[in-house]
């Protein structure tokens, strides 16, 4: 009887569905009666919420047998949602069954996860693989996914130089292995592995999934390139069904979260007079009766207000998808236009993506994917050094420095316009004017094409051929006219008006073939085998020129041909990789699982007989909840223990790193003849250069509890990298500065915890949380040839360029800050008074300069070696450069049609070298510039409690100290998104299937003790030189309003 | 299925080794170099180029490393905490670059010397190339040993970056000097004669002999004190004099105008470093005359001159009345900042005058780049050889007394030229009359200052005479207080300043190094 009813129902639904497909949709009320079951077990699910999409009032709940009844329209979409399961949408018009199958959701072990060369059910995975929740990620109003990734996944750290537009973030998985080389992971985009990946080339809305492979079991199949972890990105493909059109867009603005307080006119003038009494003529011109106090009432010009703006931005994304059994497609396009908070900076991007899945025959399947991105970045780089300055003055060439240090007040008799156009000298060159006149434009084009042909030889065995090409091109135009810092005609500017053009082209090609075999033996034994080969080539081509003394600056870039060519770059390089790989997965009743992989890689980068590397891995997993002894723990739904070990490699060295090379790019002239080429030694041959190998062990535990309301993943790892590919510092007595060698060893150990909870799950209100935290500890086991310490410096300004700011010590972390320990300022008690002057007591150590010149208020440092003065030998490690832990907390609230996402992210325990304070809270060259407001509290005879050095303080030059080393810990309210789903009544009249509006904020608030602009900073970022801040500007706060529509 | 296997075997059919074989483009591999004249000559030019680099003679040594000692002080307050103001630290970038570029030259010479034999080039040319490379390597070591004393003596190229090629002990100064002399003596046999040479750019026998005299004089003085080397110094200096190829230019100022004008004078200017053009097309110009000289505005027709170096009143007062060298070495005027007119300096103003030896005014090309000049730099002048001969002769215990008059004549020729007199005609007003070794030494020390001021020899001279610290203190005490930069410059001098510290970078990566005493 029941059966008959269902048959009838089915017929009706089919009939209606047919009408819907062939005709325009017409509204007709219908009663839907169905049962909800679990996909895998087939068991009924009670308490499932079913509602018409966009209409919270229509809610109903399934009974104990999983059954429900709902009154709906034929045109409607039903949504079935249940804790721990993916929400499922059912098109009423095409609903042809009485069963609704719900698939366990992200938090469940049955989720399908994309892994290397395929996908796997989470319960069968033996390695450590994290899937990024794309729903949450795309709630951030950003143009590329990496900007929203920080704090989302345990073990994944992202750092950026500063808030620069269009700049990619540096991603590090489970700590840095490589000391001098890149630690960025391998990216696999739709099956195409690449080391050079720019997150800006994939629209976040096009991404179906991001998987992060962390342990060796997961990554070893990428062999020589897997040691830094692997990020697998799969783009969306169409689904069988009617055409779907989606739009999402947002508009809003960005502004700066924080500006620095600089001294006001009164404090500025007061300081100038202390610095140089002769300046009184400037501030109190003869004939006026001005006094210092008059400057208290003078209006202050905060140049930051002139530089920064509230910058509008808007993003639009549109997609069209659908398909039949034979052909499925996904086409999308997007536009992003983002003005930067720094005047004249802008980022625009256009992207398009097309994906086609075509079933050619029962056995043959073709999958093609084409994507194109074109973006443009305009504007100065705030933390970039300009070479136009003399070495010792380079610190003055940075944009933010000049904005902060520029005179904050009008001098009598001058106007703002005078000051704006004051180009009398470099240090008086108005930074706002300079910025407005600079041209810096980067145009990038990125093309990616992938094709995959899959042939099913037998039902169990298939063969896949994949081919792909990736082409990236980047063009950089720079032009500096006479009103810019670099082009301004000054004594040190040997370039005059100058410009440059640079083009960089990269082409990567991939070809691979893979056999895939999967069979179940005797019902309980599942074996799958993968084997194949892969070849990849990589070519780069770079060309460019720099032109000086451009006579007609009004022509801009077109006038480069009139100037004098200075340098011409032409560079062509290539490398090749050839590999064979195999993987075995064995599973007994999905209870005991084994994965073993092997890869052999040959790379052209290495010495001839050291080219091939072999990378094995093995992993075991045990689904404990399948065991009878676990039956007594009713609250545990799933529990899995994973153990893995494997070896992975790193090949990130120069393309010809093993070769000894001679260049002929210098010139010398004899007897006034035209100079001829002179040879120089570029590098030494290294016939032993080979892979860096990382051995990683991982123990993991996954558990779901309380009807999947709580899910927990724990991972404990240790990875030891040996034969580090080190661009080792050489003694200059070799005639060279560096050479690539396989030396040294580094260990990283860590713990990652990810916890997901469903806190509240009521009919009208739901609250889910995801929390993750990761701890990583690095330890250097050995360095070059028994070397105990490795020092690193950053390029900042002449006096400091060769000063060691970081130390890598055997037994210590991979990098740590290094410098003098600040001991406050010299106080009167440190001196003997003699003939009205102050002479340092013999017992008090000098600070590195002649002790006769030291005065009260000068900086004082700890004299560790007790030699009575400060020298290099007094430098010691002064602080952590890497955080102790970092993590994120994500919350989703849903109340009726409203949903709210709140995401926090933090870093704890690292320090930052705030080098801004060297020049702006101490003015180490004692030139006539403004200072941070904090400098008003400097030491003076009237203010002897201060720790900030006096005006004209004398101290050693080119030394960093912990005076300017600050705690970089922070907690940031990274993303907040509030969205509202429109009710169906409204949408029905508009013929829209669903629509939502949202307000999203990014970088809303930061809690930190860091006194600089932003604690998420590293303007000279590399493994060894992290956390240096000079002239960086803040991450922008973004606030947008958005709309999502689906037709 | 068959097709697939066919496809697979096709892909694997080409040799995997070929696929992974890539060759660098745009550069030579070390093994594939030195295979013809063009390549070998470029390797030799590389050795010259390293020495002329801006980190050495090209710019840094010009006025901003304290090498003019008591004769000129740096006046550029931003440099106060650098070696330019005698403010020396083991992290000083110029000191590090000095070390680095000298060793770059040594590395290039070593590799060339090792590969020369197999190079299929003319045997005669091969001989002279070997001589030039040997000499230049020795000269670089001479510079290193003078300024750092105990240094690694590396005579073969590094085959790889393995420790055996990087962790190298220091050698005692004496050992380094022995090697320098050995190499230079060998070079002397190989290089061409100065006879008929167009200019002093190429290393010639006279250059080698003259520099050998300088090396031996230095070795005879502080700190090595090998007094027996005076004999050798005398021998080599005399060899240059008796070659008959050299003669003083009758006009002192013409010598230096010629450097600016890119004219040669092999008779006087025996060895010079060559600079060319303005760096806009070929990077082969330097900053001689741009760093030191009479300051002139950027972009001006004179050519920009920073005027880092000011002459001291001490030097000014060393010149006697009528000594024409004074107003050539020390600017008697300044250029007006806009009209560029020469504005005379008041006679009493003697502590603030620019070092004026190299003048951009006489450069022939136009327009002039602000930061690049084609002015050649004298490495060895005949006047220096004459003075060294006299000094070596009177200090040489074994010297032939019969040559005493000739030695004094050598010195007097230089003096007479300074006064614009006929160099070969005795002049009682100008000529020096020997009055014992002590008096002679005082005179020769002052004569060298007058003749060779700002030719980057002074500090080395004072050090070898053991007078650096005392002389700097002496001048410090006569600097008028209102010349702040000079006060700072002299105030920073320390006794240990006779040498520089081994750069801290180098100490960090070559763990066998031991720091110089006091540093």
What is the pLDDT at residue A3? 47
Spell out, as residue ranges, where chain A has pLDDT lower than 70.
Answer: 1-28, 40-41, 56, 83-84, 104-110, 163, 387-392, 419-428, 491-492
> In terms of pTM, does the model score above 0.80?
yes
With CA atoms as reference, the chain A residue closest to B164 would be A785
Full strand arrangement of the beta sheet holding A676-683: A676-683, A661-668, B28-29
Per residue in B4-24, pLDDT (tens digit) is 444 444 454 444 557 888 888
Q: Is B196 on the interface with A (CB under 8 A)?
A: no
CB atoms within 10 A of CB B8: 16
Are B11 and A655 a contacting pair at CB < 8 A? no
Q: Which of A572, A788, A798 sits opposite B25 (nearest CB)?
A: A572
Chain B positions touching A925 (Cβ under 8 A) are 78
* Angstrom distance (rounded) from CA B283 to CA B58: 11
Chain B positions touching A572 (Cβ under 8 A) are 25-26
The structure tokens listed for A773 are: 């935290």
CB atoms within 10 A of CB A836: 5
B3 or B186, higher pLDDT: B186
* Angstrom distance (rounded) from CA A266 to CA A292: 7
With CA atoms as reference, the chain A residue closest to B367 would be A549
B88 pLDDT more than 50: yes
What is the pLDDT at residue A6? 45
Taking CB atoms and an 8 Å cut-off, how many pairs form between chains A and B?
281
Are B299 and A489 a contacting pair at CB < 8 A? yes
Per residue in B182-220, pLDDT (tens digit) is 999 999 999 999 998 889 999 999 999 999 999 999 999
Chain A positions touching B264 (Cβ under 8 A) are 671
CB B464 within 8 A of CB B444: no
What is the pLDDT at residue A143? 81
The structure tokens listed for A45 are: 């699910």
CB A618 within 8 A of CB A594: yes
What is the pLDDT at residue A17? 40
Per residue in B445-471, pLDDT (tens digit) is 999 999 999 999 999 999 999 999 999
CB B241 within 8 A of CB B270: no
Q: Which of B78, B161, B202 sits opposite A393 (nearest CB)?
A: B78
What is the pLDDT at residue A388? 65
The structure tokens listed for A1035 are: 């991450």
DSSP state of A222: G
Q: Is 0.90 exceeded by the ipTM?
A: yes
With CA atoms as reference, the chain B residue closest to A959 would be B91
Q: Is B111 on the interface with A (CB under 8 A)?
A: yes
DSSP string for A603-656: ETTS-GGG-EEEEEEEEEEEEGGGSGGGTT-TTEEEEEEEEEEEEEEE--S-TT
B302 pLDDT more than 60: yes
Q: Which of B161, B165, B371 sits opposite A728 (nearest CB)?
A: B161
DSSP state of A117: T
Chain A positions touching B198 (Cβ under 8 A) are 671
| pLDDT confidence tier of residue B2, bands split at 50, 70 and 90 | very low
Chain B positions touching A734 (Cβ under 8 A) are 103, 107, 154, 158, 161, 165-166
The structure tokens listed for A534 are: 């892969």
The structure tokens listed for B345 are: 């300096």
* Angstrom distance (rounded) from CA B361 to CA B366: 11
Chain B positions touching A674 (Cβ under 8 A) are 276, 282
Burial code (b: 16+ CB inside 10 Å, e: under 16) for A30-62 equals bebebbbbbeeeeebbeebbbbbbbbbebbeeb
CB proximity under 8 Å: B 391-450 to A: none
Chain A positions touching B259 (Cβ under 8 A) are none
| Backbone φ and ψ of B391, nearest 5° | -65, -45
Are B165 and A734 a contacting pair at CB < 8 A? yes
What is the pLDDT at residue A425? 56
DSSP string for B175-186: HHHHHHHHHHHH
Alpha-carbon distances of B368 from A21, A549, B173, rounded to whole Å:
80, 11, 43
Going by C-alpha positions, the residue among A245, A246, A244, A218 that lies closest to residue A232 is A218
Burial code (b: 16+ CB inside 10 Å, e: under 16) for A331-356 equals bbbbebbbbbbbbbbbbbbebebebb
């Amino acid at each position: 009887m029941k059966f008959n009813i269902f048959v009838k129902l089915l017929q009706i639904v089919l009939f209606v569905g047919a009408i819907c497909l062939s005709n325009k949709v017409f509204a007709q009320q219908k009663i839907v009666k169905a049962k909800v079951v679990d996909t895998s077990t087939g068991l009924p699910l009670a308490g499932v919420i079913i509602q018409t999409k966009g209409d919270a009032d229509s809610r109903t709940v399934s009974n104990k047998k999983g059954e429900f009844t709902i009154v709906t329209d034929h045109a409607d979409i039903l949504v079935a949602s249940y804790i721990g399961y993916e929400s499922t949408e059912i098109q009423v018009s095409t609903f042809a069954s009485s069963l609704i199958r719900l698939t366990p959701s992200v938090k469940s072990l049955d989720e399908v996860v994309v892994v290397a060369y395929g996908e796997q059910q989470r319960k069968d995975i033996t390695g450590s693989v994290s899937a990024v929740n794309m729903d949450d990620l795309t709630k951030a109003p950003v143009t590329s996914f990496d900007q929203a990734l920080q704090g989302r996944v345990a073990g994944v750290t992202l750092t950026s130089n500063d808030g620069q537009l269009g700049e990619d973030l540096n991603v590090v998985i489970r700590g840095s292995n490589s000391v001098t080389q890149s630690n960025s992971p391998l990216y696999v985009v739709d099956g195409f592995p690449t080391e050079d990946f720019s997150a800006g080339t994939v629209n976040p809305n096009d991404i179906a999934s991001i998987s992060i492979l962390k342990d060796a079991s997961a990554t070893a199949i990428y062999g020589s390139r897997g040691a830094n972890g692997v990020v697998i990105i799969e783009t969306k493909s169409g689904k069988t069904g009617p055409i779907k059109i989606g739009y999402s867009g947002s508009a809003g603005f960005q502004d700066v979260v924080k500006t620095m307080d600089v001294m006001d006119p009164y404090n500025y003038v007061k300081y100038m007079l202390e610095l140089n009494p002769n300046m009184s003529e400037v501030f109190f011109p003869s004939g006026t009766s001005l006094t210092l106090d008059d400057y208290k009432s003078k209006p202050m010009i905060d140049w930051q207000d002139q530089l920064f703006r509230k910058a509008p931005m808007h993003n639009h994304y549109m997609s069209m998808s659908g398909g039949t059994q034979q052909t499925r497609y996904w086409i999308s396009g997007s536009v992003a236009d983002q003005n930067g908070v720094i005047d004249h900076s802008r980022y625009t991007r256009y992207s398009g993506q097309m994906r086609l899945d075509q079933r050619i025959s029962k056995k043959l399947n073709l999958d093609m994917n084409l994507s194109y991105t074109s973006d443009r970045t305009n504007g100065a780089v705030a933390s970039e050094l300009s070479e136009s300055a003399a070495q010792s003055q380079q610190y003055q060439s940075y944009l933010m420095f000049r904005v902060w240090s520029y005179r904050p007040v009008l001098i009598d008799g001058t106007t703002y316009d005078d000051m704006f156009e004051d180009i009398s000298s470099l240090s008086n060159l108005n930074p706002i004017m300079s910025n407005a006149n600079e041209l810096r434009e980067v145009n990038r084009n990125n093309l990616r094409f992938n094709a995959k042909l899959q042939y099913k030889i037998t039902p169990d065995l298939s063969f896949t051929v994949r081919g792909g090409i990736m082409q990236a091109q980047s063009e950089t135009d720079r032009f500096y006219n006479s009103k810019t810092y670099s082009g301004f005609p000054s004594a040190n500017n040997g370039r005059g008006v100058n410009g440059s053009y640079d083009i960089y082209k990269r082409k990567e090609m991939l070809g691979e073939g893979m056999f895939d075999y999967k069979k179940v033996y005797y019902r309980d034994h599942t074996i799958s085998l993968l084997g194949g080969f892969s070849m990849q080539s990589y070519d780069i081509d770079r060309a460019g020129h720099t032109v000086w003394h451009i006579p007609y600056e009004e022509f801009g870039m077109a006038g480069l041909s009139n100037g004098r060519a200075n340098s011409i770059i032409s560079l062509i390089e290539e490398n090749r990789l050839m590999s064979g790989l195999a993987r075995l997965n064995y599973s007994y009743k999905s209870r005991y699982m084994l994965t073993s992989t092997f890869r052999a890689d040959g790379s052209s980068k290495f010495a001839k007989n050291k080219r091939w590397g072999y990378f094995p891995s093995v992993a075991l997993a045990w689904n404990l909840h399948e065991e009878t002894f676990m039956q007594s723990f009713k609250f545990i739904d799933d529990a899995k223990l994973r153990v893995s070990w494997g070896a992975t490699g790193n090949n990130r060295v120069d393309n010809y790193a093993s070769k000894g090379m001679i260049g002929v790019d210098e010139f010398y002239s004899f007897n006034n003849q035209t100079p001829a080429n002179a040879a120089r030694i570029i590098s030494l041959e290294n016939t032993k250069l080979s892979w860096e190998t990382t051995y990683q062990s991982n123990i993991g535990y996954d558990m779901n509890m309380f009807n999947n309301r709580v899910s927990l993943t724990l991972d404990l790892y240790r990875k030891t990298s040996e034969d580090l590919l080190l661009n080792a510092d050489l003694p200059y007595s070799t005639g060279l500065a560096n050479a690539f060698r396989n030396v040294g060893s580094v260990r990283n150990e860590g713990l990652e915890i990810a916890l997901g909870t469903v806190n509240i799950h009521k009919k009208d209100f739901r609250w889910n949380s995801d929390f993750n935290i990761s701890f990583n500890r690095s330890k250097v086991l050995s360095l070059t040839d028994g070397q105990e310490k490795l020092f690193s410096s950053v390029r900042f300004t002449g006096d400091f360029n060769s000063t060691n700011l970081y130390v890598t010590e055997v037994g210590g972390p991979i990098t740590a800050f290094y410098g003098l320990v600040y001991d406050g300022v010299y106080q009167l008690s440190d001196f003997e008074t003699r003939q009205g002057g102050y002479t340092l007591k013999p017992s008090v150590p000098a600070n590195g300069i002649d002790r006769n010149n030291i005065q009260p208020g000068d900086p004082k440092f700890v004299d560790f070696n007790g030699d009575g003065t400060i020298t290099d030998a007094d430098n010691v490690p002064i602080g952590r450069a890497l955080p102790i832990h970092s993590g994120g907390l994500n919350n989703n609230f849903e109340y009726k049609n409203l949903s709210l996402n709140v995401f926090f992210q933090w870093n704890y325990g690292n320090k930052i070298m705030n080098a801004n304070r060297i020049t702006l809270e101490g003015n180490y060259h004692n030139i006539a510039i403004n200072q941070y407001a904090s400098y008003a509290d400097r030491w003076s005879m009237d203010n002897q409690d201060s720790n900030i050095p006096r005006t004209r303080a004398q101290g050693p030059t080119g030394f960093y100290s912990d005076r300017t080393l600050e705690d970089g810990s922070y907690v940031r309210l990274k993303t907040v998104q509030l969205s509202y789903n429109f009710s169906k009544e409204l949408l029905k009249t508009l013929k829209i299937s669903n629509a939502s509006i949202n307000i999203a904020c990014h970088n809303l608030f930061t809690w930190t003790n860091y006194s600089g602009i932003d604690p998420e900073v590293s303007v000279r970022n590399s493994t060894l030189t992290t956390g240096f801040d000079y002239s960086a500007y803040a991450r922008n706060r973004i606030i947008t309003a958005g709309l999502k529509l689906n037709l | 299925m068959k097709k697939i296997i066919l496809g697979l075997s096709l892909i694997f059919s080409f040799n995997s080794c070929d696929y992974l074989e890539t060759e660098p483009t745009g550069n030579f591999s070390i093994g594939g170099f030195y295979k013809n004249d063009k390549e070998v000559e470029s390797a030799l030019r590389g050795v010259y180029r390293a020495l002329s680099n801006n980190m050495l003679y090209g710019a840094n040594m010009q006025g901003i490393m304290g090498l003019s000692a008591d004769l000129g002080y740096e006046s550029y307050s931003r440099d106060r905490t650098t070696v330019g103001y005698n403010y020396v630290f083991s992290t000083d970038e110029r000191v590090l670059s000095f070390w680095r570029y000298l060793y770059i030259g040594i590395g290039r010479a070593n590799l060339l010397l090792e590969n020369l034999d197999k190079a299929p080039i003319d045997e005669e040319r091969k001989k002279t190339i070997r001589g030039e490379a040997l000499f230049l390597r020795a000269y670089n070591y001479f510079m290193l040993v003078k300024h750092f004393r105990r240094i690694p003596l590396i005579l073969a190229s590094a085959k790889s970056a393995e420790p055996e090629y990087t962790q190298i002990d220091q050698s005692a100064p004496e050992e380094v000097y022995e090697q320098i002399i050995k190499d230079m003596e060998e070079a002397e046999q190989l290089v061409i004669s100065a006879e008929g040479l167009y200019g002093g750019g190429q290393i010639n026998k006279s250059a080698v002999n003259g520099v050998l005299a300088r090396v031996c004089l230095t070795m005879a003085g502080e700190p090595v004190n090998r007094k027996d080397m005076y004999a050798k110094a005398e021998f080599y200096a005399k060899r240059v004099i008796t070659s008959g190829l050299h003669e003083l230019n009758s006009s002192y100022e013409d010598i230096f105008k010629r450097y600016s004008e890119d004219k040669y004078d092999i008779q006087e200017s025996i060895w010079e470093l060559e600079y060319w053009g303005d760096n806009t097309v070929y990077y082969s110009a330097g900053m001689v005359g741009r760093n030191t000289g009479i300051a002139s505005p950027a972009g001006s027709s004179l050519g920009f001159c920073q005027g880092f170096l000011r002459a001291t009143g001490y030097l000014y007062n060393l010149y006697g009345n009528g000594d024409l060298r004074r107003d050539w070495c020390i600017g008697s005027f300044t250029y007006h900042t806009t009209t560029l007119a020469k504005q005379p300096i008041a006679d009493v103003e003697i502590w603030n005058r620019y070092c004026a030896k190299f003048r951009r005014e006489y450069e022939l090309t136009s327009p002039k780049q602000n930061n690049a000049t084609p002015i050649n730099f004298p490495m060895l002048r005949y006047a220096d050889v004459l003075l060294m001969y006299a000094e070596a002769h009177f200090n040489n215990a074994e010297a032939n007394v019969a040559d005493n008059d000739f030695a004094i004549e050598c010195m007097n020729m230089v003096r007479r030229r300074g006064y614009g007199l006929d160099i070969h005609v005795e002049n009682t007003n100008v000529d020096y009359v020997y009055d014992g070794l002590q008096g002679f030494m005082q005179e020769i020390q002052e004569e060298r200052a007058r003749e060779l001021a700002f030719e980057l020899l002074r500090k080395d001279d004072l050090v070898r005479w053991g007078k650096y610290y005392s002389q700097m203190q002496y001048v410090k005490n006569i600097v008028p207080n209102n010349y702040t930069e000079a006060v700072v410059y002299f105030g920073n001098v320390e006794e240990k300043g006779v040498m520089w510290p081994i750069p801290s970078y180098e100490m960090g990566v070559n763990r066998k190094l031991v720091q110089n005493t006091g540093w």
